[in-house]
């Protein structure tokens, strides 16, 4: 099986998960930052990792997701400051799926990732702070070993 891992990472959190995917998948596996990613046509499995911006995948990842041909096997993974399983995180993953053309989703993985301090300060200064801000303190140190082990186990089950 030929696999492609594409990721977008602002702080390095999503790259950590992309590296875990790369190290865990068997077979011919390529890994690229979304800015350098090839067209996905010749791959059997495509794993796309992203960070959240305004409750959606970041813009570069959204663009890449929309370019994946229909019928491809897809694994999505994301990092965010929101609590794992929160509405914010769940809705963002659901939105990512809507960008795909008739995919076969083989799995999704989402975990907290430590937020960029500049983004935290900006969010705190908004008249109506975003919902994820209350969860940000618990995101410090994530993704951690437990997050990465959970991702490894999920990848092994694909």
SS3 sequence of 71-120 = CCEEEEEEEECCCCCCHHHHHHHHHHHHCCCCCEEEEEEEEECCCCHHHH
SS3 53: strand
CB atoms within 10 A of CB 63: 13
pLDDT value of position 158: 87
Q: Which residues of the chain have pLDDT under 70?
A: none
Contacts of 68 (CB under 8 A, 6+ apart): 40, 46, 48, 74, 100, 101, 103
Q: Tell which residue, 4, 16, 9, has the closest CA to residue 35.
A: 9
Q: 136, 95 in Cβ contact below 8 A? A: no
Element housing 13 (H / E): helix 13-24
Percent helix, strand and coil across the chain, each rounded to 5? 40, 25, 35
Sorted by where each starts, the structural domains of the chain and their CATH numbers stand as: 2-156 (3.40.50.360)
pLDDT value of position 69: 95
Question: How many whole angstroms separate alpha carbon 58 and alpha carbon 18?
Answer: 15
pLDDT value of position 156: 95
**How many CA atoms lie within 13 Å of 25's alpha carbon, on the beta-carbon side?**
22
Taking CA atoms, 69 is separated from 41, 42, 46, 125, 142, in Å, by 7, 10, 11, 41, 32
């Amino acid at each position: 099986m030929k696999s492609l891992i594409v990721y977008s990472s602002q702080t390095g959190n999503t790259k950590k998960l992309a590296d875990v995917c790369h190290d865990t998948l068997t077979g011919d596996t390529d890994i690229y930052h979304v800015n350098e990613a090839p067209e996905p046509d010749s791959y059997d499995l495509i794993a796309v990792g992203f960070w959240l911006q305004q409750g959606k995948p970041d813009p570069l990842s959204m663009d890449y997701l929309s370019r994946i041909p229909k019928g491809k096997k897809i694994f999505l993974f994301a990092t965010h400051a929101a609590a794992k399983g929160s509405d914010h995180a769940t809705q963002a993953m659901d939105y990512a799926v809507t960008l795909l053309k008739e995919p076969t989703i083989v799995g999704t993985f989402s975990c907290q990732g430590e937020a960029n301090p500049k983004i935290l300060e900006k969010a705190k200064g908004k008249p109506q702070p975003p919902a994820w801000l209350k969860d940000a303190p618990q995101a410090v140190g994530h993704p951690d070993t437990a997050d990465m082990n959970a991702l490894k186990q999920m990848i092994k089950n694909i």
